Amino acid sequence: MQRHGKNYNSAARWRRSGGGANPRQLLIALALVAAIAAAAWLSLRMPADGSAAATSSRVVIRRVMTSNPDACFSVNGKYYDWIELANLSDETVDLTGWRLSDDADLRGAFAFENVAIPAGGSLLVYCADPPEGAAGGTVFTGFKLASDGELLVMADANGQWQQALEVPPLGAAMVWQRRDDGEYEEVSIYDILRRDEEYAQILRPDYDPNGLRINELMSVNRTTRQDEDGDYSDWLELYNASPLDIGHGGWFQC
């Protein structure tokens, strides 16, 4: 356009003058703003000490099973994924209004109603839609857990995160379990059953701690039975007399 005998090209003048923000600088600035906003968003939901795992009430997610073929906790003959909450304090904790969700924004979160965990006690929560005929007091979240891993969030009645737990991919009958030091590890439900007989009776009333036994033994095998290499090795046969599969990881002979 022509003004007072001078030719003005707005775009060219903008480039020459260096006015405005460089596109790359603009993207960096936007990313920085987004990061600050995300940090502020998280700070509103996390406990005051900044730890997503901390909770003043000491209610924690103790165990999670995301693939439960037929290992434990059946309801009307069916097996569901589950979460176990534990109250580590010396006081009863009322969970009314507390929420569990597999979504960071708590969309579709399950809200507890008239539920409390006694001091030192625990609460089992099934991750499924409530089935018909379920016993009163049985808790179902209405959402399922993904066996390939996901975030699990527990928030209090004010929506503040009490724990945000990253559950990794888990195989069938594997449990993401909290240790005494607060860290988590993957363990087989059968190892839990074997190590804690009292807890095993809660997990599986039909569990037999003596279900796995030595059935036959041959200490001198010269011509009776060959192994896969064609050798005549000494051998023993184990028999599982219990009604459930028993994983043999961690067992030893002496």
pLDDT at 117: 94
Reply yes or no on whether the pLDDT at 31 is more than 80: no
Residue 96 token pair: 């009314």
* pTM reported for the whole predicted model: 0.61
Distance in angstroms (rounded) separating the CA atoms of residues 141 and 61: 14
| Long-range contacts at 236-239 (CB < 8 A, ≥ 24 apart) | 238/212, 238/213, 238/214, 239/212, 239/213, 239/214, 239/215
* Out of 13-22, 84-93, 132-141, 208-217, least confident range: 13-22
